[in-house]
Amino acid sequence: MNHIFEIGRYWIFMKGLFTRPEKWKVYFKQIFVEMESMGFGSLVIVAINSVFMGAVITIQSAYNILNPAVPLSAIGIVARDSIIIEFSPTIIMMVLAGKIGSSISSEIGTMRVTEQIDALEIMGINSSGYLVLPKLVAAVSILPFVVILSMFMGIFGGWIAGDLTGVVPSNDYLAGIQNGFLPFNVTFAMVKTVVFSYIITTVSAYHGYYTQGGSLEVGQSSTKAVVYSNILILIFDYILTMLFLA
Amino acid sequence: MIEVKNLNKSFEHKIVLNNISCTFEKGKINLIIGGSGSGKTVFQKCIVGLLTPESGTVLYDGRDFLNMNKNQKKEVRQDIGMLFQGGALFDSLTVEQNVMFPLTMFTDMTFIERRARANECLKRVNLDNVNKLFPSEISGGMKKRVAIARAISNNPKYLFCDEPNSGLDPVTSLVIDNLIKDITEEYDIITIINTHDMNSVIEIGERIVFLYKGNLEWQGTNRELMEVDNVELNNFIFATKIMQNMKHNSNNQLS
């Protein structure tokens, strides 16, 4: 029963989000502020995660390919496709759900418990639209670029790891990542990224917006935001994979 | 004038406001007083529309606020300024940007005009050289004054204050009280203050509404307050020795 209530309230929250802004110019400025915070603010964590993720995928792929008939360049193919289709758009977005999602939830939650949202409402401002819409637009615009960067960093990490450990020579790895590349995979990854960006932003904002109580509840909302975002990312990952690849 | 008629509000079967009716007059300091948990904040939030009552009417200069559509409510709200208990300043904006915020959202003023108006409002609340500071860098009293400056920046017709003196020392409380009083007279607005600070009641209260356990127990002027024969109100007002002495002196002067 509680989940039905939450889903219903989420859709009401969404309806409030897509109403006409009081002043486009203010919203537009805010979008760029959020883009900078979400995009540039996530580069370091995304780069570190992607390089190590690519390195691990490459070494594990080499470890699992035992048949000497399989060329070493296959490791490059496996690493590239795993990174592009799954690891960058899904795992990195789950990492970002932790970073961006908790930040959104705690920021809005704190505004709720310190009556800043009430202050916006009193002024006649649509608080959900003002606080969340710029974040949503910023996330769906900038996170695909972050994920593309993650793809490059992941493949680069695999190359370095393969070469340093000697499990796959540079020439074989580079030949592998260029062999049989399907641009559709990138399109699929971008669709996933946009959907996951939407989930992270709206679910986290929803949990922050309906926070009641004090600092303890802000923390709880933040945790809920990350947990629910990750669960929904996994569910929608499955749904999208069924729709596009099955 | 703001008129409240037969307002009822409850939370999960617990009645918080029971059939409240009263009026708040223009150019006067209207106080809502009562102990903690008496329903003051809920009452004020129902009047400004942050909470929806089960039944009742709230009229802003004759306009039925509760039955307005979203856009009509937005228009009324642009005439409302509110000072929240903790100030409710936006943490991500500087003091100046906080005061400019309502002007940025609802007027076509240029940046220079908005900044000039913000400086004018900050000067009005006796704040200098804090424009570029963030709310986390100023004291509690300063936050309240910035919140007052923000509340008056868009020339409101109605000013609501929720416990403006809470957490402040007596001197700063007096400064805030006098500021609210001066602004009410200067702008000729309707000011409604929630408080349980007896100094405010004595110093600036003109019309007083006393809530007790969700009921409107008494309403009148601060002059009538000293002579009223209501047990609950007397228990609340004259709870401290200072107030008891004040009443004793007042009675002696009369006799």
Exposed e or buried b per residue across A156-184, where buried means at least 16 C-beta atoms within 10 angstroms of its C-beta: bbbbebbbeeebbeeebbbebbeeeeeee
Instruction: Report CA Rg, chain B.
Output: 19
Distance from CA of B240 to the nearest CA of A (A): 31
Question: Which residues in chain B have Cβ-Cβ distances shorter than 8 Å to A22?
Answer: 105-106
Distance from CA of A23 to the nearest CA of B (A): 6
Which B residues, 202 through 221, put their C-beta within 8 Å of a C-beta on chain A? none
User: Over the stretch A22-73, which tens digit does the pLDDT of each residue have?
Assistant: 888 899 999 999 999 999 999 999 999 999 999 999 999 999 887 788 888 9
The pLDDT score that the predictor gives to residue B36 is 83
User: Over the stretch B71-86, which tens digit does the pLDDT of each residue have?
Assistant: 888 888 888 999 998 8
* Structure token digits, residue B185: 């007279």
The pLDDT score that the predictor gives to residue B226 is 75
The pLDDT score that the predictor gives to residue A200 is 97
User: Over the stretch B119-146, which tens digit does the pLDDT of each residue have?
Assistant: 989 988 888 889 999 999 998 888 988 9
pLDDT tier for residue B233 given thresholds of 50, 70 and 90: confident
CA distances from A107 to A92, A196, B92 (A): 22, 20, 10
Would the CA dihedral through A49, A50, A51, A54 be positive or negative?
positive
The pLDDT score that the predictor gives to residue B25 is 87
Helix (H, G, I), strand (E, B), or coil: what is residue B65?
A: coil
> By the CB < 8 Å criterion, does B101 face chain A?
yes
User: Over the stretch B178-207, which tens digit does the pLDDT of each residue have?
Assistant: 888 888 888 889 999 998 888 778 778 888
**Average pLDDT score, chain B:** 86
Q: Do B77 and A123 touch (CB under 8 A)?
A: yes
Question: Which residues in chain B have Cβ-Cβ distances shorter than 8 Å to A116?
Answer: 88-91
- Contact call for residues A180 and A81 (beta carbons, < 8 A): no
Which B residues, 81 through 100, put their C-beta within 8 Å of a C-beta on chain A? 82, 84-86, 88-91
User: Over the stretch B205-221, which tens digit does the pLDDT of each residue have?
Assistant: 888 999 988 888 888 88
pTM of this prediction?
0.88
Q: What are the residue ranges in chain A where pLDDT is below 50? A: none
Q: Check residues B146 and B168 and name the one with the higher pLDDT.
A: B146
Residue A196, Cβ density class (10 Å: 0-12 exposed, 13-18 middle, ≥19 buried): buried
Question: Which residues in chain B have Cβ-Cβ distances shorter than 8 Å to A114?
Answer: 86, 88, 91
The pLDDT score that the predictor gives to residue A161 is 95
The pLDDT score that the predictor gives to residue A69 is 82
ipTM of the shown complex: 0.86
